[in-house]
């Protein structure tokens, strides 16, 4: 039975339909609900594949090695993120970060949102948008260079749709950050590297918000 379920869930049509449904759900501002539904399908897929985490490029590097690469990259990546945010906000206006106002000077709210960001954003978003969406679109194009670039582009676009609540500046910034994370994901073929980098980016940004520095 597991084999039949696996064949159905990993069929190109099923995978593309799943990605399209999540894309539409994000566009109509379903946000976290869409992500969690997507992760539920990914979990069933992994179960049907007897928890073969290589399906998401999760087993290519150890946590120690992935963390080492993440630490090497975090400073240039964060500087680039800050530069991107500055340029985007200069062109499109300020990003809407009102959802995070509660953490300013509030240690309990800061800790709760930080933990949520590690689980939902750093882990959940990377599993879905990089480990699943980017990999599956790349597979659909049989790993060609053009197909890999399209997978990077499309996964970043879909990733940006999950940040519609931040307005146009947030969507554009998130798309560009998605391109950076996707490129690093492809560079190391490792989901763990981008999970750690995403967690470090969110930790830094939320810390700056907590101290009312951005």
* Phi, psi of 95, deg, nearest 5: -70, 140
Q: What is the pTM of this model?
A: 0.95
So what's the pLDDT on residue 145? 93
Show Cβ contacts of residue 49 under 8 Å, excluding neighbours closer than 6 positions: 6, 10, 55
Residue 157's closest CA among 134, 138, 135, 136? Answer: 134
Question: If we measure between CA atoms, which residue out of 1, 46, 41 comes closest to residue 18?
Answer: 41
The pLDDT of residue 102 is 87
What DSSP designation does 26 have? H
Confidence of residue 75 (pLDDT cuts 50, 70, 90): very high
pLDDT of residue 51: 96
Q: Where does residue 129 rank: exposed (0-12), middle (13-18), buried (19+ CB within 10 A)?
A: buried
Burial of 142 (C-beta count, 10 Å sphere; 0-12/13-18/19+): exposed
Asked which of 55-59, 75-79, 97-101, 182-186 is least confident by mean pLDDT, the reply is 97-101
Average of per-residue pLDDT values in the chain:
95
Percent of the chain with pLDDT over 90: 89
Q: What is the pLDDT of residues 153-180, one digit of tens each?
A: 999 999 999 999 899 999 999 999 999 9
Task: Tell me: pLDDT of 136 over 80.
Answer: yes
Backbone angles phi, psi at 162, to 5 degrees: -75, 0
Average pLDDT for residues 84-94, to the nearest whole number? Answer: 94
Determine the average pLDDT of the residues in 67-76.
97
Query: Does position 94 have pLDDT exceeding 80, yes or no?
Result: yes
Q: Hey, CA dihedral for 203, 208, 212, 214, is it positive or negative?
A: negative
Residue 202 token pair: 């969110």
At residue 200, the pLDDT reads 97
177 vs 100, which has greater pLDDT?
177
Percent residues over pLDDT 70 in the chain: 100
- pLDDT band at 143, cuts 50/70/90? confident
């Amino acid at each position: 039975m597991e084999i039949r379920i696996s064949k159905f869930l990993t069929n190109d049509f099923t995978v593309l339909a799943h990605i399209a449904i999540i894309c539409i759900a994000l566009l109509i501002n379903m946000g976290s609900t869409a992500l969690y539904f997507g992760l539920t399908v990914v979990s069933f897929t992994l179960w049907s594949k007897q928890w073969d985490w290589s399906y998401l490029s999760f087993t290519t590097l150890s946590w120690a090695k992935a963390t080492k690469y993440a630490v090497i990259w975090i400073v240039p990546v964060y500087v680039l993120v800050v530069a991107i945010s500055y340029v985007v906000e200069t062109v499109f206006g300020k990003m809407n970060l009102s959802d995070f106002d509660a953490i300013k000077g509030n240690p309990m709210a800061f800790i709760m949102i930080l933990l949520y960001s590690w689980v939902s954003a750093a882990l959940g978003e990377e599993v879905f948008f990089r480990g699943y969406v980017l990999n599956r679109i790349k597979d659909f194009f049989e790993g060609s260079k053009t197909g890999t670039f399209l997978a990077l582009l499309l996964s970043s676009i879909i990733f940006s749709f999950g940040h519609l609540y931040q307005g146009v500046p947030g969507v554009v910034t998130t798309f560009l950050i998605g391109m950076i994370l996707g490129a690093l994901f492809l560079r190391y073929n490792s989901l763990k590297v981008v999970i750690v980098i995403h967690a470090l980016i969110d930790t830094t940004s939320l810390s700056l918000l907590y101290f009312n520095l951005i």
